[in-house]
Structure 1
Amino acid sequence: MSMRTAALTLATLFSAPSEAFWRMPCPGRLVQERIDPIVDPGEVSGHVHTVSGGSGFGFETSFEQQRQSACSSCPIKPDLSVYWTPKLYYMAEDGHFEDVPQAGEGEGVTGGMTIYYEQRGGPDDDDLKAFPPGFRMLAGDPFVRNATDAEAAPGKAVSYACLDYTGPAHEETEKMPDYNCPNGLRAQISSPLAGTSHMAYPIGAYNNGRCPDSHPHHLISIFYEVIYQTNLFADRWWGDQQPFVFAQGDRTGYGFHGDFVNGWAPEILQDAVDNCLSNSGKIADCPVFANDLYTDEECQACRLPTQIDEQVTGNLSSLPGCNPPTNGPEYATPQSCKTPEISSPTQYFTNVIESLGWEYQGCASDDIASRTLTGGFTWSDDMTVQHCIDYCKGEGFSLAGLEFANQCYCGNDYANQAAAPDPKILGNCWQPCAGNDQEVCGGSGALSVYKSCDGDACSNAVFHVNGTESASSASGGSSAEKRKRHIHKHAHGHAKFH
């Protein structure tokens, strides 16, 4: 073979759809609570999930609902899908639990995940199809506690990478490794590739095999990566097993899983499947959406308020829900117990309409180089909502914005209208006020904005979660058998193909 022929062969290989993929780092998350509209639609889920994607998400969601999302915590704007994986916890020797942060998390920044879209046509180089409207999928099984057959999956579709950026590389494992990972633990799962009304893993290779005759439609595949900062607990190991457990009580890691509800504009995803043929993985190298991306700041501002009055982070006496830690190898039995109700969404403002005659406008973005409110400014270690409003009112301004717990900005209009509060976007206002930790005083680059108003015209900007404007009740808990049936029904996906 000549060098020219070899070069052409190599070029063809690397440009083929079977080698192409794009990597979508989701820098933020929507919400973290017991929610799973695939397995437990309309009810409190059995265990805690971390959710990233389009803001149309709720305890019940659909393709149409996701397409109405006002924002996404993932960067590709045409993708308003939603992705979720289980929360990881540290289990102490005395039996209490602590949440394990995800990569990038801290100081108001939420940790997300990385989603790969892989164009693998299998040994026959099949034409790949985009996910159809209504498509939803559960990859993996939360109650598996042992290695399973690779073709039946999850099997080798679930894996773990022990991250060590300075030491020797570790081989990937099928379960959580029993040794410390200096730079954290990366959990990974591949989705099924082949479909009819339901999904199946390919024959021969879970990630690039031949579709079975029963599932002839070869879809683009999703690969989830979530990095957990297990290294923060390096000096707190005990016993002869790693000290971590997933939210569903899984001590092994075999029960890692990833859920997906499609929110792509169908024609755009198919265009990307057909024409995003780079093997760099960079979304900037895909001409279909390279110039249609959310910034990291916009992704961080795309959040949903919690709707379950339940602690899921910090120090916990037990895992949220009924999830006793189990090691298997037997299939874990879903447990039933009483759960909290789904309530109205948590609101992150103080109602001062009656006391001060000011209404909450929402969470605005701000930039140190280009302030959103350019009138007066003050700061105080005793900052509260009333403190800021009193100052701005005294200076003759009608807008008061609180930022970073102790700062107060004033104005009569927004210097940058693009930074004004959007009632459909919750924003990055999360920090307790320096003078009252029961109130919220903005965040980093985010302003909790109040405006003077007049009598009956006053109205706070109340944030609604799609599909849950009226609280539904799950006070009796969801049935364990019902949950088990849902898992088997939706493992590993369903939709109509044409």
Structure 2
Amino acid sequence: MKWITARALALVVPVQAGLRFQCSTLTIQRLDPVVQPGSNPSAHVHHIVGGNAFNATMEGDVSTRATCTTCEFPEDLSNYWTAALYFKHQNGSYHRVPVIPVNPGNLDGYSGTVGGITVYYTQNDLIRDTIAQNPVKTFPPGFRMTVGSPTNTGAPHVGLRYQCLSVGGGRGREMPDFPTTPCAGGIFVTNHFPACWNGKDLDSPDHQSHMYNTITMDGFVAAPACPASHPVRMPQVTYETVWDTSKFNSMWPSGAPNPFVWSFEGVNGKGTHADYMFGWKGDALQRAMNKSECFYDGCGSLQKQQMATANKCTVKDMVGEVTDGWLDKLPGM
């Protein structure tokens, strides 16, 4: 995805609404209520943001069980997560890579994000003249989906990309795999979900078949209409995560292969993946998606909370294992 600022994006597609907001880290532990519901622990460590209803098992309308969220919009009690990133030392030990905000320090006045993910909900996969015929319909309670797969070693998945950051935060070209040389400012990872729903299933056995991706390139681009098999146009969900790999660069010998791995021992970056569980209260998200000519600010229908408040939202450690510091092996391996 070629980076476009929120202001530039709003100018390019003025007839489309969108949200862009920060979520602080909620927890980092080995749970996955979408792919491995009920398993405690799950197979590998995840970095999770969002509502405090997060648990090993999550069914039904999670917005009725969560009481707070680490995201800027208090009506968003959804959960968003990806695999955690680790540095693998030449001696065979592992250290978890910390997460830093995409825009450290300040984002439109909402400062104080701790770690976390930047989340997008946009209409930007829509061709403008199809919006009236196929308006965006938001997710129903209980909806969930994934994108990507830890077992993927083949062609890179559309919308799952890496970028090297400079010290000042500048972003290099997009890559389908891990960078092959150290990144001075960290590694920027994008997870771009499909936006066409079959209109029936809240989930599917592979957590992906109930959705369909009509884009063939990366980014917030105009997309063809949804197919008859998946006729419902949903908001385009995207995550952006910055992994602060800079502190490990001195331990990356010149000319050596990439030393970073996903928590499933994923040395192949094409295995990057993400999970989503819808949890907005009532029609809050639909109200925002019904608006036009606005971007990021809630579209006049959503109120924000200060990140100092969001950061007070927590969940307990339900697994009880060490996931950070120098480890002899990855948790679960």
TM-score (norm 1): 0.56
Report the 3-state secondary structure (helix = DSSP H, G, I; strand = E; otherwise coil) of the residue aligned with 2:269. Answer: coil
Which residue of 81, 86, 91 corresponds with 1:84? 81
Q: Which residue of 2 aligns with 1:378?
A: none
Does the alignment pair 1:16 with 2:15? yes
Which residue of 317, 322, 326 corresponds with 1:306? 317
Question: Take 1:232 and 1:121, find their aligned partners in 2: how far apart are those partners?
Answer: 36
User: Superposition pairs for residues 327-476 of structure 1, below 5 Å?
Assistant: none
- Quote how far apart the aligned CAs of 1:276 are: 5.1
Q: Which residue of 1 aligns with 2:108?
A: none
- Quote how far apart the aligned CAs of 1:121 are: 4.7
CA deviations over 1:378-401 (Å, ceiling 9, x no partner): xxxxxxxxxxxxxxxxxxxxxxxx
- Quote how far apart the aligned CAs of 1:22 are: 1.7
Question: Take 1:167 and 1:301, find their aligned partners in 2: how far apart are those partners?
Answer: 27
Q: Which residue of 2 aligns with 1:407?
A: none
Question: Take 1:113 and 1:178, find their aligned partners in 2: how far apart are those partners?
Answer: 24
The structure-2 alpha-carbon separation of the partners of 1:97 and 1:200, relative to structure 1 and needing over 3 Å to count, comes to same
Question: Take 2:169 and 2:42, find their aligned partners in 1: how far apart are those partners?
Answer: 40
- Quote how far apart the aligned CAs of 1:13 are: 5.8
- Higher RCO, 1 vs 2 (CA within 8 Å, ≥6 residues apart): 2
CA contact (8 A) 2:72 2:305 kept: yes
The gaps in structure 1 that reach 5 residues or longer are 1-10, 149-154, 323-498
CA contact (8 A) 1:180 1:234 kept: yes
Report the 3-state secondary structure (helix = DSSP H, G, I; strand = E; otherwise coil) of the residue aligned with 2:61. Answer: helix
Which residue of 188, 191, 201 corresponds with 1:189? 191
The structure-2 alpha-carbon separation of the partners of 1:63 and 1:99, relative to structure 1 and needing over 3 Å to count, comes to same
CA contact (8 A) 2:76 2:280 kept: yes
CA contact (8 A) 2:96 2:323 kept: yes
Which residue of 44, 67, 85 corresponds with 1:70? 67
- Quote how far apart the aligned CAs of 1:271 are: 0.9
The structure-2 alpha-carbon separation of the partners of 1:305 and 1:189, relative to structure 1 and needing over 3 Å to count, comes to same
Question: Take 2:168 and 2:282, find their aligned partners in 1: how far apart are those partners?
Answer: 42
The structure-2 alpha-carbon separation of the partners of 1:213 and 1:112, relative to structure 1 and needing over 3 Å to count, comes to same
Question: Take 1:304 and 1:12, find their aligned partners in 2: how far apart are those partners?
Answer: 39
Amino acid at match of 2:120: Y
Question: Take 1:169 and 1:47, find their aligned partners in 2: how far apart are those partners?
Answer: 29
- Between structure 1 and structure 2, the one with the greater Rg is 1
Q: Which residue of 1 aligns with 2:252?
A: 237
The gaps in structure 2 that reach 5 residues or longer are 1-9, 105-112, 202-209
Report the 3-state secondary structure (helix = DSSP H, G, I; strand = E; otherwise coil) of the residue aligned with 1:316. Answer: coil
CA deviations over 1:338-390 (Å, ceiling 9, x no partner): xxxxxxxxxxxxxxxxxxxxxxxxxxxxxxxxxxxxxxxxxxxxxxxxxxxxx
Question: Take 1:80 and 1:178, find their aligned partners in 2: how far apart are those partners?
Answer: 37
Question: Take 1:166 and 1:56, find their aligned partners in 2: how far apart are those partners?
Answer: 36
CA contact (8 A) 2:168 2:185 kept: no
Does the alignment pair 1:141 with 2:138? no
CA deviations over 1:160-191 (Å, ceiling 9, x no partner): 12111559752111111111111111111101
Question: Take 1:181 and 1:90, find their aligned partners in 2: how far apart are those partners?
Answer: 13
Question: Take 1:24 and 1:169, find their aligned partners in 2: how far apart are those partners?
Answer: 19
The structure-2 alpha-carbon separation of the partners of 1:128 and 1:41, relative to structure 1 and needing over 3 Å to count, comes to same
The structure-2 alpha-carbon separation of the partners of 1:157 and 1:222, relative to structure 1 and needing over 3 Å to count, comes to same
Amino acid at match of 1:15: P
Which residue of 45, 48, 51 corresponds with 2:48? 51
- Quote how far apart the aligned CAs of 1:203 are: 5.0
Q: Which residue of 2 aligns with 1:288?
A: 301
Report the 3-state secondary structure (helix = DSSP H, G, I; strand = E; otherwise coil) of the residue aligned with 1:15. Answer: coil
The structure-2 alpha-carbon separation of the partners of 1:71 and 1:254, relative to structure 1 and needing over 3 Å to count, comes to same
Which residue of 38, 55, 72 corresponds with 2:34? 38
Q: Which residue of 2 aligns with 1:444?
A: none
Q: Which residue of 2 aligns with 1:170?
A: 172
CA deviations over 1:185-237 (Å, ceiling 9, x no partner): 11111011111131111154466422222111111011101100001111110
CA contact (8 A) 1:57 1:66 kept: no
Report the 3-state secondary structure (helix = DSSP H, G, I; strand = E; otherwise coil) of the residue aligned with 1:315. Answer: coil
CA deviations over 1:461-490 (Å, ceiling 9, x no partner): xxxxxxxxxxxxxxxxxxxxxxxxxxxxxx
CA RMSD of superposed structures (Å): 2.3
Question: Take 2:36 and 2:242, find their aligned partners in 1: how far apart are those partners?
Answer: 26
Q: Which residue of 2 aligns with 1:199?
A: 211
